[in-house]
Structure 1
Amino acid sequence: MEENEEGRVKEEDEEEEQEEVWSWGAGTDGQLGTGKLQDELLPQLLSLPSLSAVGSISLLACGGAHVLALTSGGKVLTWGRGTSGQLGHSEMVNSPHPKLVMSLDTYFITHASAGWNHSGFVSDAGDAFTCGDGSFGQLGHGDYSSHCSPVKVSFLDDLGVKQIACGMRHSLVLLKGDSGDEVYGFGSGKRGQLGISKKIKAISVPERIYEFEGVKVTSIIANGDQSAALSADGHLYTWGKGFGGTSSTYSPQSLATSLWFTKAAVGWNHVLLLTADGEVLMLGGNHHGVLGNPEKMSPARLLADSGEAMLEKVPGLEGNRIMDIAAGAEHSVIVTGHGVIKTWGWGEHGQLGLGNACNQTSPQEVSLGHRSQTEATAIKIYCGSGFTMAVRTPHIP
């Protein structure tokens, strides 16, 4: 009896220590996972019973109005807008509740990305799968068809895909090459977002970006008509639609700065950058206050050529070490070393989580509900175009 009692207590403790998943902002397509088709102005704690059998969340990928969730067991759950087949459920309908992607059940999925209306997945064997809207070739299957179940990108067979990044109507993949990491692009290229050094309407087969020869790329990022990559030595490369009103760039350009960046979050008109010292800087425009109040910000580091976008510190974060960053279409989110979430920018759908639909020009604190101040937690944040999600887990010493 004592052993049973101890076991029951242990189970209860483990239950109490389970992760929490929160969402807020635009929700009319079911992308918040609450089961309701409405916007939420404050963070909502989700009930995800389907996770109990497949493990904890290891990654969320948020798109135009849909979400992909990877679990520690290599499974995939999706929810939200599915009218282009981007949920991978073999049908083109929305889903307000998380559902397993059954066609990927025999694979161990390690990476995923959500675009505007398409999705990409990578398995531990290095295979890439895509589904959803393919009308710009962004699925990489050599045609312009859409698919409602994930289809393997045959062009990339045996090449060892590491990551995939989905933008508005284009996709990037990161491979491990012999001389360095290889990056490929496919889909819409009107704004230069494919990085293939020429203006092209669209391509439906992955094409290599040769500027990365000899560069060790650690991550690729895509959003809107923008593309970016981070290298192992902390350099940021950007291409596609220009930031801050600058012209489009058709091949990757390295940001001229001595700073070492560990993470980049790309919006439609701006980029957030996290340095190795836990400082956040921003590159790009200020529409809807997405980058703070430009009248109160003093110019900091500039790109090499005059007239290019300005790199500046985010105001109001002095004295904080930043642990994570995320960017929606035109809003920004950060997590401090004390586990505090702060948001600013476009707030029309409640994506700032502040209880209103107002824009904010400086970081504002978001509350995820009561937790003991002595209880250490880790928070990861993710942004869709007009919504935000957070995963809070107990800190394991």
Structure 2
Amino acid sequence: MLCYWGAQVREGFGLVKPDQVEHGNSGIRSMCPKLKVQDMSAGRSFVGFIRNGKVSVLSSDGKLKQPQLKNGRIRQIFCGGAGAVLLSDSGTVVIMDKSTVCKHLKGLDNRQVIQIACGDHHSMALTKDGQLFVWGENSHGQLGLKKDHPSSPSAQHVQSLSGIPVAQISAGGDHSFVLSLSGVVFGWGKNSAGQLGLGDTTDRYVPTVVNSLHQKKTVSISCGGEHTATLSKGGTVFTFGSGGSGQLGHNSFKDEHHPRVVAELWGSKVSHITCGRHHTLVSVASSKLIYSFGCEIQGQLGNGEVTTQSVPFPVDLPTECNDEYTIDKLIAGENHSFALFVKELESKAKSNPSNEVLTLNDGMIDRWLAGTDSWATIKKEINTVFSSAASLNGSFLKMSCDDHYQTSEEHCGLDFDLVKTSFAKLSENKSLISEVVKVVQQMLRSLNLNPTGVESLRVYLLLPELIKHLEKQQRTELTEALASKILQLDPDAHKVLEKYWAKSPDDWLKNLVKLFRKASAKLIGQITYGKMGFDFKKRLKRFLKILQMIYQVCGSANKDIPNRDFIIFEVNDLLDTLETTLKNLFWRLWLSAFTEDCQDVEKLRDCYFEIIKILVKFPSAADTVSKQRMFVFLQWQLFTPRAILLNGNMLQINRESVWMDTFAYLRQKKHKFCNPMQVKFIGENGIDGRGLSAEFFSLLSQSLLKWEKKVLEVHESSLVWFNTEGMQDNRDFYYLGVICGMALYNRHYINLDFPLALYKKLLQRSPTLNDLEELSPVEARSLKSLLEEDEEEVVDMLFLDFTVKGKKLIPNGDQIQVTKVNRQKYVDLYVDFVFNKSVKKQFKHYLRGFSKGCPLDAWSMFHPEELQKLLHGSPKYEWSELQQCASYEKCSASDELVQNFWTVFFELSEENKRKFLMFLYGTDRVPVGGFSKRPLKIFQSDCPDAEDRLPEAQTCFGRFILHKYSDINTLRDKLIHAISFCEVFGRG
């Protein structure tokens, strides 16, 4: 049954005889055509009907026409201001102008259209794969193709929405709307009355998200002449735009620039909305009522009133509408209103998946695997879904508890568990997965790198799970293509994608890490064996950049993914090959045996060095030992063996005035920081083979702490930090930095216990409250107690203000009390003051000196913890490891003398054990990687006067000379005396 009301038209529309039209109250007319009305639409020029796949149109002059079409059955008709658009069962589009002349729409060849919307002078079409096309005038940007884009008679692709899974499209007078599957609303075009709901009256020329409708669970949208209505899942209606005729239903005639709830409909659970030129209709399925509001001049509200109506009132429907019929379609035209009713049984059986974008789901995959459809049909579906980012982005949404409606920059809306199980099943069939890969490769090339909405980014979450199940070659190719696209995304999209990663399940994120680590490892392996493919450096950078992005996300989100998962252990093989190559070249040069084939080896060497220079920019890619090796290799590039011999940077100093002598030496500005340094203690024999310089830095550290200028302050934790008060000047902190930089560059330790915060600052990372707890435990615990306090009164009673030691943290900080509301800000500012503001000048000069002392900026590849160990040594003393790593000369581990030595050694106190290290190596620091990274050679001396000799050490070689003492007690006395008074012995 069809009911209609409004402006006078030809009685019965030519569908029934005039006497078969029933006249009810308030101008409502109803009829029951023998030939069922399948679809209808009303616009400015036509009212159109479809019956049995054929079109009938009634023009504004009252003439009924039936256009002759050669496209078979017509499924839907859409009437606009300038004509009508017809959609066939096959998805082809035909345009009909005011004279009912029909022609094919150009620009939609081989595309299956599922939805159409018509405005006054423009139209829109949505295809099965989720692509939006527009045509017509673009006077106000209603085509969404940017401001200067001309009007177009043929269909144009709206590329900015190419990744959005669209649920519905709607066109108004000169404005357009799109609704996504997750309820995100996009609007564009004319906005003179605020009909875009963006809070202003400025036209938009590209699709723009209506943020005020965010997470309102919008399920339907309708555009009028200059107003818009949206419907939420719970039945709430929002309207906005022109309100001059009361068409917004807000009991006023004002325009609304933001979506506003129609309060009179609150609780009615509206099921359908539609906007006409100046009026609005809504229906409530449960009560079978239709409400109307807006312009009533020609009776289009259907309630007997003849004036405009600004609040919803029920339409006077015939009583039989409430009995056995239910509303199937509601249409508000120019000055007409229509309600198409169907029998309730027909309504319950009716479903229309043909107007929905095709998306991938678990059931579809099951059907493919079962083989119930032909291979041609399956291939067509695969091509539709996997060639379209929009289709993929609308797949596997988490529908439970309406979770997908929460889609935002923080929430992707995907059901990760469903994604994993579905792709795992898909991978079981090699034919299917092979076809999918071919289509995905094409889709990746067409991805929009400047997406309009966050839903476009779901594809970057889905594809890694798919790639995980592919064969090695396919996996590598797609991983590389995916990495390239991720890196080309605009900065805003990058940030959102990183937020999605941060919120993803740990196992999914681990798979992502594994994917790009494997790809990196494979490429480095090929490079190691000289198999350099096309653009291998650029390709490696892509993988490493993605890995570094994920690493930073894991760190900031506190993800339970260890650093080890990011390490590419194949880097060590590359370094081994480089070392062999360098030794080969060195000896050839040394022996003057340089031949033509050496040129190829040199090219290989240069290539390896280029790879190292790439790797040092990605701290997560290698372990500490590999980074140390890279650091050494890059040093080799800065100097040559000849430069070392001719310019050894010999530093001659007195033990008693080590700091002042060093200070005087550095002020001469003769030191070549790129070359290795050597140390000679005045009045002592010995050549520095690293042992003397190691001792030099140990002595220098002690002198710095005792220096009367007190550049460093020892805290309660025994850690040191910059002294902010005293008689030091900028040069003191500069030279402190130079010394630390020189120690790092020359691979020595400095005995200054800085907190981890210093190394974070060097690497441009922000210290935290935990870092303050390391430096000043009491101070930090007080701040933590402040943050954990539940009672607001207790916080107030602490009488804290925004100052630290009399220094204001913010303007007027001494007048602002710390409360439960602002305490986090106070703590953040407190930590910032201690580590940054209070030492800004000191650290600035220290950093400048550090960079001077260590001219190789590759130190930035280390993590803060690694840099701390490299400069200060490892805090862990695994003494048993020292014994395990020892080697023996002229003796063996089973000899009584050696066994006596180890017995005595393990009896020593912790302090004396460290003194032994100082005696043996010139430093008591443990190298990164443990004692295995430093040699210990025990040499047994057979001199006849052993009882009169003390043990000796050749620090440069880690050689411990042990005389053949007669018993363990003698050995004990001699060893303790040697390590306690080792400064009197010259060693080299």
Residue 227 in 1 paired to residue 269 in 2?
no
Residues 142 and 39 (structure 1), Cα distance of their counterparts in 2 relative to 1, 3 Å cut: same
Which has the larger strand fraction?
1
- Aligned equivalents of 1:244, 1:261: Cα separation in 2: 23
Following superposition, the deviation at residue 127 of structure 1 comes to: 0.3
Which has the larger helix fraction?
2
Equivalent residue for 1:154, pick from 211, 218, 222: 211
Structure 2 equivalent of residue 251 of structure 1 = 311
Equivalent residue for 1:241, pick from 277, 295, 310: 295
Following superposition, the deviation at residue 70 of structure 1 comes to: 1.4
Report which stretch shifted further, 39-48 or 237-246. Answer: 39-48
TM-score with structure 2 setting the length: 0.24
**AA at the equivalent of 1:172:** A
Matches of residues 201-220 of structure 1 in structure 2 within 5 Å?
Answer: 202-220=255-273
Structure 1 equivalent of residue 228 of structure 2 = 171
Residue 275 in 1 paired to residue 335 in 2?
no
Query: Is this contact kept in 1: 2:273–2:281, CA < 8 A?
Result: yes
**AA at the equivalent of 2:246:** G
Higher RCO (Cα < 8 Å, 6 or more apart): 1
Structure 2 equivalent of residue 71 of structure 1 = 127
Query: Is this contact kept in 1: 2:81–2:120, CA < 8 A?
Result: no
**AA at the equivalent of 1:242:** E
Matches of residues 381-396 of structure 1 in structure 2 within 5 Å?
Answer: none
Query: Is this contact kept in 2: 1:31–1:65, CA < 8 A?
Result: no
SS at match of 1:103: helix
Residues 149 and 21 (structure 1), Cα distance of their counterparts in 2 relative to 1, 3 Å cut: farther
Residue 199 in 1 paired to residue 259 in 2?
no
Matches of residues 128-147 of structure 1 in structure 2 within 5 Å?
Answer: 128-147=185-204
Query: Is this contact kept in 2: 1:132–1:148, CA < 8 A?
Result: yes
- Aligned equivalents of 2:227, 2:134: Cα separation in 1: 20
Equivalent residue for 2:99, pick from 41, 45, 48: 41
SS at match of 2:242: strand
Following superposition, the deviation at residue 122 of structure 1 comes to: 0.2
Report which stretch shifted further, 107-116 or 240-249. Answer: 240-249
- Aligned equivalents of 2:73, 2:96: Cα separation in 1: 24
SS at match of 1:217: coil
Structure 2 equivalent of residue 62 of structure 1 = 118
Structure 1 equivalent of residue 793 of structure 2 = none
- Aligned equivalents of 1:154, 1:183: Cα separation in 2: 16
Residues 215 and 28 (structure 1), Cα distance of their counterparts in 2 relative to 1, 3 Å cut: closer
- Aligned equivalents of 2:295, 2:98: Cα separation in 1: 31
Residue 119 in 1 paired to residue 172 in 2?
no
- Aligned equivalents of 1:22, 1:254: Cα separation in 2: 28
Structure 1 equivalent of residue 236 of structure 2 = 182
- Aligned equivalents of 2:239, 2:81: Cα separation in 1: 30
Query: Is this contact kept in 2: 1:113–1:164, CA < 8 A?
Result: yes
Structure 2 equivalent of residue 314 of structure 1 = none
**AA at the equivalent of 1:86:** Q
Query: Is this contact kept in 2: 1:23–1:46, CA < 8 A?
Result: no
- Aligned equivalents of 1:205, 1:63: Cα separation in 2: 22
- Aligned equivalents of 1:152, 1:26: Cα separation in 2: 25
- Aligned equivalents of 1:135, 1:169: Cα separation in 2: 8
Query: Is this contact kept in 1: 2:80–2:120, CA < 8 A?
Result: no
Structure 1 equivalent of residue 582 of structure 2 = none
SS at match of 1:244: coil
Structure 2 equivalent of residue 310 of structure 1 = none
- Aligned equivalents of 1:221, 1:84: Cα separation in 2: 23
- Residue deviations 1:108-153, cap 9 Å, x none? 1111111111011100011000000011100111111001111000
- Aligned equivalents of 1:26, 1:256: Cα separation in 2: 27
Query: Is this contact kept in 2: 1:78–1:101, CA < 8 A?
Result: yes
Query: Is this contact kept in 1: 2:105–2:154, CA < 8 A?
Result: no
Matches of residues 13-32 of structure 1 in structure 2 within 5 Å?
Answer: none
- Aligned equivalents of 1:156, 1:124: Cα separation in 2: 14
- Aligned equivalents of 1:26, 1:261: Cα separation in 2: 23
Query: Is this contact kept in 2: 1:26–1:39, CA < 8 A?
Result: no
SS at match of 2:163: coil
- Residue deviations 1:69-95, cap 9 Å, x none? 112222211111111100111135311
- Aligned equivalents of 1:18, 1:30: Cα separation in 2: 17
> What are structure 1's unaligned runs of at least 5 residues?
1-15, 279-397
- Aligned equivalents of 1:48, 1:20: Cα separation in 2: 18
- Aligned equivalents of 1:157, 1:27: Cα separation in 2: 31
- Aligned equivalents of 1:209, 1:25: Cα separation in 2: 27
Aligned residues: 257
Residues 189 and 74 (structure 1), Cα distance of their counterparts in 2 relative to 1, 3 Å cut: same
- Residue deviations 1:183-239, cap 9 Å, x none? 111111010011111221x12111110122222222210121111112213321111
Query: Is this contact kept in 1: 2:186–2:208, CA < 8 A?
Result: yes
Residues 243 and 111 (structure 1), Cα distance of their counterparts in 2 relative to 1, 3 Å cut: farther
RMSD of equivalent CA atoms: 3.4
Query: Is this contact kept in 1: 2:188–2:206, CA < 8 A?
Result: yes
SS at match of 1:272: strand
SS at match of 1:155: helix
Residues 72 and 26 (structure 1), Cα distance of their counterparts in 2 relative to 1, 3 Å cut: closer
Following superposition, the deviation at residue 243 of structure 1 comes to: 5.2
Equivalent residue for 1:105, pick from 141, 158, 162: 162
Same amino acid, percent of matched pairs? 29
**AA at the equivalent of 2:250:** I
